[in-house]
Amino acid sequence: MQVLTAIVGRLVKAFLTLLAIAILNFFLLHAAPGDPAVVLAGEAGAADEQMIEQLRERFGLDQPLYVQLGKYVWGILQFDLGYSFRQGAPVSELIADRLPATLLLTMTAFGISLVCGIAVGVAAAARVGKPSDTILTTLALLFYATPLYWLALMAVLVFSVWLGWLPGFGYETVGANYTGLERMLDILKHLILPALTLGLFFMSVYMRMTRASMLEVSQLDFVKTAKAKGLSGPAIRRRHILRNAILPVVTLAGLQAGQLVGGAVLTETVFAWPGIGRLMFESLAARDYNTILGVFIVSAAMVIFFNIVTDLVYRIVDPRIGATA
Amino acid sequence: MWKRFFSNIGALIGVAILVTVIAVALLAPVIYPQGPWQMVQRPFLPPFTVDGLPLGTDTLGRDVAAQLAYGARVSLLVGLVSTIVALLIGVPLGAAAGFYGNMVDEGAMRFTEFFQTIPNFALAIVLVAIFQPSLASITLAIAIVSWPPVARLVRAEVMSVRKREFVDAARVAGLTPRRILIAQVLPNTVSPIIVMASLMVATAILLESSLSFLGLGDPNAMSWGYMIGAARTVIRSAWWLSFIPGVAIVVTVLALNLIGEGLNDALNPHLARKARA
């Protein structure tokens, strides 16, 4: 019951946040340079007075601001994100087409970074002060300071251009017309480089956090008790320290979800991965504000979704939270 | 404190690198008075092949070393100013929330949470795209997406300092709440803010380079991210053009991170070394 109330509470909060972002979006759209009607008319190829007037009326641009705001928010609630004249399609359709690719990329990168980050962090903490720990920590520090897009470019250069091991471009082999399992394997091959480069940065973040958290928890009294009971080192680490140390890492992972979506813009741009990040990049050059803001609001929704999921995971990992909340 | 800082080898390396980058940035107009946009030789010269052009030329025959030096100016300037602006937003907000509590705290924290939920790089892209790329809009956009952690940190610090005895003493002495906050409480929260600020400069430099890479840089300012973005299409034939500016970014950001960690260890010696969020 408590869990249910908590979930409903989270959903209400998520809805209010999205509403606020929609309002912010509306004002940003209005701050965009140029009269939207003139811009629209120009993009449609006919910028005469009559056309502009017609457009104003059609899109309700002649109405007071609050009416426009209400209409805009109402539209967003119905998944209407406006129309992209550059691409000649509704923004929601453009995004729906590209969303699966982004979800595949970000989820894979998220999984890789969390699992590997925690594993490496535990390994480093177990060898604290030894050369192998120093090497792992230094590597993490280095990846933390590396621009994502540059790492991606270098990965393309080394593994795709020089070694020829993996494709460094696109989502699948164009013109190969693979089907079924073959197609899945082809997509997987294309996924490896983007997912790894996007994951590496976050892996370094989780690794550092896990290591620090493991070291901190291992100082606590119950660990001494476990030692006194005669438990082996690995058993203590796995069953006693890690279970407690992992909590801040899960919290952090939830907070980092937004970064992951932002990172997808860069990764998708470099790898020509046909996701919403790439869509945003393409719309930037064209200054297609409807699409840019559409991607923005969808990515915000994704972050809110990620946060709810981490919140639930958090409750599973630590039953104490459900009991007190 | 300084003794502790300077006995940290990592921090020392960081300071040495940062001083070098600052020197290059300051001296750029002296070493390369012709600026970074001037064509000096034929394009695509690899590094170390022509005297006087140690890093070669780019796709348009411009001196890569000069571009790198001028890029350092932009990176450091945007990194520093955006951090200061973020502090100007985050510190007062967090301090008010932590000190006054109740409704002020509730309101300020909901506001902060809202900004933390928005994917920050995506918001930065949107802001720069809408307000047109310029050094001012880029700096402001980075500040707008980086202040929330500051507000949260300052709030937590103020809340813990507020309960100390010297604050009660100040109250008994008849100081106004505002004066207590500014003169008594805030000075005691400075050290974690300094640590966070040094790390924020690093993040801001990464953000600026990412924006420039996507083509959202100031068209009148040479920047490392722009160099990588411009060289991206020729990565097969002239990979060093993307490689060199990337190294400059990594080295600078790494230096700032090392300094930040050194400051953290020096200023909070009693704390266990924590990885930052």
Question: Rounded to an integer, what distance in angstroms lies between the CA atom of residue A211 and that of residue A141?
Answer: 13
Chain B residue closest to A307 (CA)? B117
Closest residue to B228, CB basis, from A153, A293, A307: A153
Question: Rounded to an integer, what distance in angstroms lies between the CA atom of residue B105 and that of residue B158?
Answer: 12
Question: Rounded to an integer, what distance in angstroms lies between the CA atom of residue B171 and that of residue B181?
Answer: 11
Whole-prediction pTM: 0.88
- Whether residue A262 and residue B119 make contact (CB cut-off 8 A), yes or no, is yes
Q: Provide the pLDDT for residue B236.
A: 84
Q: Provide the pLDDT for residue A36.
A: 64
Does residue B188 lie within any of the structural domains?
A: yes
The residues with which B62 forms a beta bridge, in sequence order, are: B39
- Whether residue B120 and residue A211 make contact (CB cut-off 8 A), yes or no, is no
Does residue B47 lie within any of the structural domains?
A: no
Judged against a pLDDT cut of 60, whether residue B270 lies above it is answered with no
At B156, which CATH number? Answer: 1.10.3720.10
B54 touches chain A (CB under 8 A): no
Average of per-residue pLDDT values in chain B: 87
Q: What does each C-alpha distance from A47 to A30, A54, A55, A61, A231 come to in angstroms?
A: 20, 11, 10, 16, 79
DSSP label of B183: I
Judged against a pLDDT cut of 80, whether residue B143 lies above it is answered with yes
> Comparing C-alpha atoms, which of B40, B85, B61, B35 is closest to residue B221?
B35
Cα-to-chain-centroid distance, residue A112: 13
| The two three-digit tokens of residue A34, written as one number | 């140029």
Measured in residues, chain B has a length of 277
Chain B interface, mutation test: which of A29, A139, A149, A213, most B Cβ atoms within 10 Å? A149
Residue spans in chain A of domains classed CATH 1.10.3720.10: 95-320
Q: Provide the pLDDT for residue B191.
A: 87
- Whether residue A303 and residue B213 make contact (CB cut-off 8 A), yes or no, is no
> Comparing C-alpha atoms, which of A275, A25, A149 is closest to residue B214?
A149
Residue pointed to by tokens 């992972």 = A253
Chain A residue closest to B10 (CA)? A138
- Whether residue B257 and residue A145 make contact (CB cut-off 8 A), yes or no, is yes
Q: Provide the pLDDT for residue B76.
A: 94
> Comparing C-alpha atoms, which of A276, A118, A282 is closest to residue A202?
A118
How confident is the model over B243-270, as a mean pLDDT? 88
Q: Looking at beta carbons, which residues of chain B come within 8 Å of A219?
A: 272
Q: Provide the pLDDT for residue B276.
A: 38
Chain B residue closest to A289 (CA)? B130
| The two three-digit tokens of residue A158, written as one number | 């080394």
Does residue B46 lie within any of the structural domains?
A: no
A290 Cβ contact partners less than 8 Å away, ≥ 6 residues apart = A29, A81, A82, A83, A84, A91
Instruction: Assign 3-class secondary structure to B203-215.
Output: HHHHHHHHHHHCC
B238 Cβ contact partners less than 8 Å away, ≥ 6 residues apart = B44, B46, B59, B231
| The two three-digit tokens of residue A277, written as one number | 């990040």
| The two three-digit tokens of residue B141, written as one number | 């956009």
| Burial status of residue B135 (CB atoms within 10 A of its CB: 0-12, 13-18, 19 or more) | middle
Q: Looking at beta carbons, which residues of chain A come within 8 Å of B120?
A: 258-259, 262
- Whether residue B235 and residue A161 make contact (CB cut-off 8 A), yes or no, is yes
Number of domains chain B contains = 1
B237 touches chain A (CB under 8 A): no
Chain A interface, mutation test: which of B9, B21, B130, B205, most A Cβ atoms within 10 Å? B130
Chain A interface, mutation test: which of B235, B253, B257, most A Cβ atoms within 10 Å? B235
Task: Name the band, by pLDDT with cuts 50, 70 and 90, for residue B273.
Answer: very low
**Cβ atoms of A210 and A122 closer than 8 Å:** yes
> Comparing C-alpha atoms, which of A250, A280, A308 is closest to residue A17?
A308
**In the Cβ-directed half-sphere of A148, how many Cα atoms lie within 13 Å?**
32
| The two three-digit tokens of residue A109, written as one number | 């990168």
**Cβ atoms of A271 and A160 closer than 8 Å:** no
Chain A residue closest to B243 (CA)? A154
Backbone φ/ψ region at A60: left (φ over 0), alpha (ψ -120 to 50), beta: left
Query: Which fold does the domain A95-320 belong to in CATH?
Result: MetI-like fold (1.10.3720)
* Sign of the dihedral through C-alpha B259, B265, B268, B272: positive
A276 Cβ contact partners less than 8 Å away, ≥ 6 residues apart = A95, A98, A99, A102, A264, A268, A295, A298, A299
Ordered alpha helix ranges (H), B118-239: 120-130, 135-146, 148-162, 165-172, 177-179, 190-213, 224-231
Q: Provide the pLDDT for residue A35.
A: 65
Question: Rounded to an integer, what distance in angstroms lies between the CA atom of residue A196 and that of residue A116?
Answer: 11
Q: Looking at beta carbons, which residues of chain A come within 8 Å of B209?
A: 147
Question: Rounded to an integer, what distance in angstroms lies between the CA atom of residue B93 and that of residue B81?
Answer: 19
- Whether residue B130 and residue A32 make contact (CB cut-off 8 A), yes or no, is yes
Q: Looking at beta carbons, which residues of chain B come within 8 Å of A32?
A: 130
Judged against a pLDDT cut of 60, whether residue B271 lies above it is answered with no
- Whether residue B213 and residue A149 make contact (CB cut-off 8 A), yes or no, is yes
pLDDT tens per residue across span B167-213: 888 888 888 888 888 888 888 888 889 889 999 999 999 999 999 99
Question: Rounded to an integer, what distance in angstroms lies between the CA atom of residue A84 and that of residue A88?
Answer: 6
Gyration radius of chain B's alpha carbons: 22
Question: Rounded to an integer, what distance in angstroms lies between the CA atom of residue B242 and that of residue A132?
Answer: 31
Question: Rounded to an integer, what distance in angstroms lies between the CA atom of residue B101 and that of residue B107?
Answer: 10
Gyration radius of chain A's alpha carbons: 24
- Whether residue A156 and residue B119 make contact (CB cut-off 8 A), yes or no, is no
Q: List the domain range (segments joined by +) for residue B232.
A: 17-25+63-276
Terminal Cα distance for chain A, rounded: 12
How confident is the model over B139-154, as a mean pLDDT? 94
Does residue B125 lie within any of the structural domains?
A: yes
Terminal Cα distance for chain B, rounded: 24
Q: What is the DSSP string of A192-235?
A: HHHHHHHHHHHHHHHHHHHHHHHHHHTTSHHHHHHHHTT--HHH
Backbone φ/ψ region at A169: left (φ over 0), alpha (ψ -120 to 50), beta: beta
Residue of higher predicted confidence among B230 and A220: B230
Does residue B191 lie within any of the structural domains?
A: yes
Does residue B118 lie within any of the structural domains?
A: yes
Which residues of chain A carry a pLDDT beneath 70? 1-2, 34-47, 59-61, 319-325
Q: Provide the pLDDT for residue B277.
A: 33
pLDDT tens per residue across span B93-102: 999 999 888 8
- Whether residue A28 and residue B127 make contact (CB cut-off 8 A), yes or no, is yes
Q: Provide the pLDDT for residue A325.
A: 39
The alpha-carbon gap from A2 to the nearest alpha carbon of chain B, in Å, equals 23
- Whether residue A284 and residue B215 make contact (CB cut-off 8 A), yes or no, is yes
